[in-house]
Amino acid sequence: MEHLQYAWAVVKENLLGWVVFGFVFGAATSLTSGLLLILMPNAIRATRKAIAGNAAPDLGDLFQFDTIADDAIAMLGQGVANIVGGVLCCVGAVVTAPIFLFAPHVASENAYDGVGSLKVTFEHGKGNLAGNLIQMLLIGIVLNVFIFVTFGIGMVLATPLALVAFEHFYQEQRPHILAAAQAAQIPVKR
């Protein structure tokens, strides 16, 4: 719950800007049947920058394509892992989603290439499956109940709240994620 409380404190300071950012990101991914989810690392970068500057995210940051290859590899790898997990085990996505939860966050830092981002997330996620799953479920359930209770109007806040809440969770876990990467000797991008 602390991640959502933090998210609300951040989002309410620049509510309109966050709503516009969430709407544009949501519309872009929805209108392309999820294809533009490869922009998730950009959305996270914009979120991180906005939090640091106590401002709303800049829409221009969403469409920066400097690292699109590594971002696409990380996001497609995460998607494939979730699909394969779901197909092979029927409930496999419940396992693969928490394992690869931080793939876009790691990719957003540009420290690892696309495959390296997946490896880093895997190394951390396999040892933190329950904790990641609990946070995913908690944030997801609370946001869905919020959307339901507000008769769908809360949907305009769901994307920004989710972005900030998961970024807050990532920053909390970041030292452990980097330690797992170092222990597994995953090379940093040069």
Query: What is the per-residue pLDDT across 105-114, written as a single tens digit (0 to 9) for each?
Result: 999 999 999 9
Residue 188 lies in a domain: no
Between the two ends of the chain, the Cα-to-Cα distance in Å is: 37
Work out the pLDDT band at 57, boundaries 50, 70, 90. very high
Residue 189 lies in a domain: no
- The per-residue pLDDT for 16 is 96
> Tokens 């991914």 belong to which residue?
29
In angstroms, the CA 120 to CA 126 distance is: 10
Least confident of 8-17, 46-55, 74-83: 74-83
In angstroms, the CA 58 to CA 95 distance is: 34
Residue 74 lies in a domain: yes
Residue 174 lies in a domain: yes
Question: Burial of 167 by CB count in 10 Å (0-12 exposed, 13-18 middle, 19+ buried)?
Answer: buried
Residue 178 lies in a domain: yes
In angstroms, the CA 28 to CA 38 distance is: 11
CB 113 within 8 A of CB 73: yes
- The per-residue pLDDT for 7 is 97
- The per-residue pLDDT for 27 is 87
Residue 53 lies in a domain: yes
User: Can you give the pTM of this predicted structure?
Assistant: 0.92
In angstroms, the CA 102 to CA 109 distance is: 11
Residue 113 lies in a domain: yes
Residue 95 lies in a domain: yes
List the domain range (segments joined by +) for residue 36. 2-183
Q: How many domains does the chain have?
A: 1
